[in-house]
Structure 1
Amino acid sequence: MISDDLQFTVLGSATPCASADNPCSGYLVAGGGARVWVDAGSGTLAALQRYCRLDEVDAIWISHLHADHSADLLTAYYAARYADLELDAPIPLYGPPGTADRLAHFLTNSDTRSPVESAFSVRELYDGHRAEAGGLTLTSRSVQHDIPGFAVRIESAGRSLVYSGDTAPCPSLTDLATDCDTLLCEAESAEVPTLRPQAHHTPEDTGATAHAAGARSLVVTHVGPYLTPEEAVSRAGKHYAGPIDYAAPGAAFTIG
């Protein structure tokens, strides 16, 4: 039985690779009678199965195609095709343009294209994309990363969760997160890069984005290897006065 309350569980939050006790980016969002697997970084399929089977997921949403957010789509394909699962239909998969061909290119081992569409019903994201999974509404916005990337606002029964994906601070994320109940925002960068365009939030940026959006609470995630979670939370708190948590693997949050 899925609660009607909007909630999410952290499957993993590591970057750039999984550690012994923390998979890469992935979250199980539940509410409104539905479950959505948000980002499928390496190691997250195994963590997902602590809470539900792959064939009990109503949709998958992918922020961008870097491996630490999408690599377990490959293992999910094999699970959907060859494990003891019973898919009534291919799983809706929302991802950046090119997601299906990217998967097929990796999985194809002959002259015949791998049938990724037998496991996933791939729908390409665009700025302003909207979708529904049960009682959950997902609104995606394009954000500022070094490859095409998206953030998502997930709403149910008047509650709202916004997930940044990977992005530098940008107006589209702030707009998407306006007045949300919880902002789940990355804080990968220890320092702002100076030799190339910024592609991630620093912890200070994370706090500033939460403040500018008027988010009611902040959960810091995707903390880079040169920061501790405690440092990231402390630094974000200098720019945001609301409650702040860290997305520790296995942590569960109820929204609102």
Structure 2
Amino acid sequence: MSSDLLRLTVLGSATPYATLDNPCSGYLVSSGGTRVWVDAGSGTLAQLQRHVRLDEVDAIWISHLHADHSVDLLTAYYAALFADIQLAAPIPLYGPPGIADRLAHFLTNTSTRSPVESAFAVHELDDGHQAHVGALTLTSRAVAHGVPAFAVRIEAEDRSLVYSGDTAPCANLTRLAEGCDVLLCEAESAQAPAEGEQVHHTPEDTGDTAGRARAGRLIVTHVGRFLTPQQAVARASARFDGPVDYAAPGVTFSIG
């Protein structure tokens, strides 16, 4: 496998808590020696180390601050500052507004605020935020999840991956995913909720979003507990003509 390919490795995709064999949401995206940890749900730091040390990660990107997408930042903080990791500089951390104070709130045990900025160089996301990390360009858009939440388009040369984070179907996600090679999209909801209450995709929604965006390939992830991965893939495939896969833990997908 060529090192300059855009690659997606699934560290975990479970929701809302880890199973025996599947951590919560987390992914390693890499190209040309650049490595970005995307979402840090419970259990994903352990799986990350199968592929790369924490001090070899070029950046961390967090979609939103629900625990199943961010809680392993807490243990990453301890690893970065108080263990065998030797950081040359704080790890760039891209996340929703308030992420540094949220981490400090959990980590502070005395009257002195925990030095989260010693472990992480925090960059707060906004709608349309763009960052260049080594060989990768990351473009973030705000999405509809009831809390500050973002999707991201990750590009390396002419290859592109879009990750939905957690969101209801929304125009920003569709526009961000326009013409992408791969759409990694959540499929949390087993059935459509009441009008005005939707904060996740159903598998059918996932297929519709991929179709509207003219994505080349769909990977369903964050499949809810009342669905099997096979059901989610079948239901998404009924609404999307392209190839559909499941984000099984440990699997690496080559993109483009």
Structure 1 and Structure 2 fold alike (TM over 0.5):
yes
Within 5 Å, which residues of 2 pair with 1:23-38? Answer: 23-38=23-38
Rounded to whole Å, the distance in 1 between the matches of 2:33 and 2:53 is 15
| Residue 150 (1) aligns with residue 150 (2) | yes
Structure 2: 5+ residue stretches without partners: none
User: For residues 192-237 of structure 1, what are the alpha-carbon distances to aligned partners after superposition, in whole Å with 9 as ceiling and x for unaligned?
Assistant: 1117520000000000000000000000000000000000000001
| Residue 51 (1) aligns with residue 16 (2) | no
Q: Which residue of 1 aligns with 2:249?
A: 249
Rounded to whole Å, the distance in 2 between the matches of 1:15 and 1:32 is 31
Q: Which ranges of 4 or more aligned residues in structure 1 deviate by more than 3 Å?
A: none
Rounded to whole Å, the distance in 2 between the matches of 1:184 and 1:36 is 15
Q: Which residue of 1 aligns with 2:179?
A: 179
Q: Which residue of 1 aligns with 2:162?
A: 162
Q: Which residue of 2 aligns with 1:238?
A: 238
The sequence identity of aligned pairs, in percent, is 72
Within 5 Å, which residues of 2 pair with 1:50-199? Answer: 50-194=50-194, 197-199=197-199
Rounded to whole Å, the distance in 2 between the matches of 1:19 and 1:83 is 27
Q: How far off is 1:2 after superposition?
A: 8.4
Query: What is the identity, as a one-letter code, of the residue corresponding to 1:208?
Result: D
User: For residues 165-197 of structure 1, what are the alpha-carbon distances to aligned partners after superposition, in whole Å with 9 as ceiling and x for unaligned?
Assistant: 000000000000000000000000001111752
Contact in 2 for aligned 1:32/1:157 (Cα 8 Å): no
User: For residues 125-149 of structure 1, what are the alpha-carbon distances to aligned partners after superposition, in whole Å with 9 as ceiling and x for unaligned?
Assistant: 0000000110100000000002110
Q: How far off is 1:33 after superposition?
A: 2.5
Rounded to whole Å, the distance in 1 between the matches of 2:136 and 2:195 is 40
User: For residues 45-72 of structure 1, what are the alpha-carbon distances to aligned partners after superposition, in whole Å with 9 as ceiling and x for unaligned?
Assistant: 0000000100000000000000000000
Aligned residues: 256
Query: What is the identity, as a one-letter code, of the residue corresponding to 1:197?
Result: E
SS of corresponding position for 1:140: strand
What TM-score comes out, normalization by structure 1 length? 0.98
Contact in 2 for aligned 1:2/1:33 (Cα 8 Å): no
What TM-score comes out, normalization by structure 2 length? 0.98
Contact in 2 for aligned 1:95/1:123 (Cα 8 Å): yes
The alignment yields a C-alpha RMSD, in angstroms, of 1.1
Query: What is the identity, as a one-letter code, of the residue corresponding to 1:101?
Result: D
Rounded to whole Å, the distance in 2 between the matches of 1:104 and 1:246 is 35
Rounded to whole Å, the distance in 2 between the matches of 1:160 and 1:128 is 16
Rounded to whole Å, the distance in 2 between the matches of 1:94 and 1:153 is 13
Query: What is the identity, as a one-letter code, of the residue corresponding to 2:127?
Result: D
Structure 1: 5+ residue stretches without partners: none
